[in-house]
Amino acid sequence: MTYPTDRPATWFVTGASRGLGLELVKRLLDRGDNVAATSRSAERLTLALEGTDTSRLHALTVDLTDEPRVSQAIASTKELFGTLDVVVNNAGYGYLAAVEEVSDADARAMFDVQIFGVWNVLRSVLPGFRENRSGHIINVSSILGLLSFPGWGLYGSGKFALEALTESLAAEVAEHGIKVNLVEPGYMRTDFLRPVSIGLPESTNDAYPAIREMVRQHLEQIPGTQLGDPAVAATAIITVATTGTAPLHQLLGSDSLGLAEGRVQGLTADISASRDLAMTTDIAAA
C-alpha cells in the first residue's frame, strides 16, 4: 500500500470545481490532507469551497491540454507540499448526440480532455512516482467506459479509451510500486446533465428522433432523480486510495453494478456465438 500513514497525504485532483471533483476536494480538506486542485477557474473553485478550511488547498487554473502548464502545476504542488501521493484524473464533461452529428472539432475537444489531458498528467507524475517507488493514480471513468448507448458515442468513446490506457498503465507500473485504479460511477446527482457540463451538437439530424427524445429526458426529467450520491462517491474514492485493496475496475452505484453485470452476460453470449467462425481463421497446421 502506497498511502502514507505518518503524515497528511498530498492529492492532485483535476476537474475540481464541480460535482464529484468538488466533493472529493471538500472531504480531503476536511481530513487534513494537502490538495492541489485544478479547474478552468481557480477563482470559481475557491468560491465553491466557501465555508471549508482551505489552508491546505493549492488551487490551480490549468488547461489540461497545455502540457507545460500541467508540468508546472505538478512541480508547484511538490514544491509547496514536499511530495505527491495520489493523482485523481477526474476532469470531463458529457456530450449527447448521434455519432453522425458529432463534428470533428467536438470529437477532438472531448479526447483532448478525457485522454490527452490525462496523458499530460501521467507523463508529469510518473517519473517521480517511479523514483519514489510509490504513488497512486485513480482515473475516473464511467459505466459508459464499459458499455455505451445510442447518443453517448462520443462520451463513451473517450471513456473506453481511458479504460484501455489505464489497464495498460496498471500493468506497466506495478513493478515500480505504483497503484492504479479506475472508478466507474453510474448516474450521480450532480450538475453533469446541466448546460454547464453537457455538450450538444451544433446541428441535429431528423433521422434520429429516439435520440432527440433521449436528450430531452436527460436534460429535463433525469436531473435530480439520479441514484448516486456524489458525497458518498467521493468518500469511496478516498477508500480506494487509503486501503489500496480495490480492484482495478471499481464500480460505484447500484445502477453501474447492474449495467456492468448485464454487459458481462452479453459479452459472454457474444463469445459463445463467435466460437465456430473464430476457430476457422487460424493458419492450418502443416
User: Active-site residues: which are they?
Assistant: 141, 155, 159
- Residue 207 in 3-state DSSP? coil
Terminal Cα-to-Cα distance of the chain (whole angstroms): 50
CA nearest to 30, candidates 3, 11, 17: 11
Question: What DSSP string describes 104-135?
Answer: HHHHHHHHIIIIIHHHHHHHHHHHHHHHHT--
CB 118 within 8 A of CB 166: no
Name the CA dihedral angle for 161, 58, 133, 162, rounded to a multiple of 10 degrees: 0
In this structure, the number of other CB atoms found within 10 A of the CB of residue 175 comes to 9
Pairwise CA distance, residues 246 & 249, whole Å: 8
Take residue 283 and report the three cell numbers written for it.
Answer: 493458419
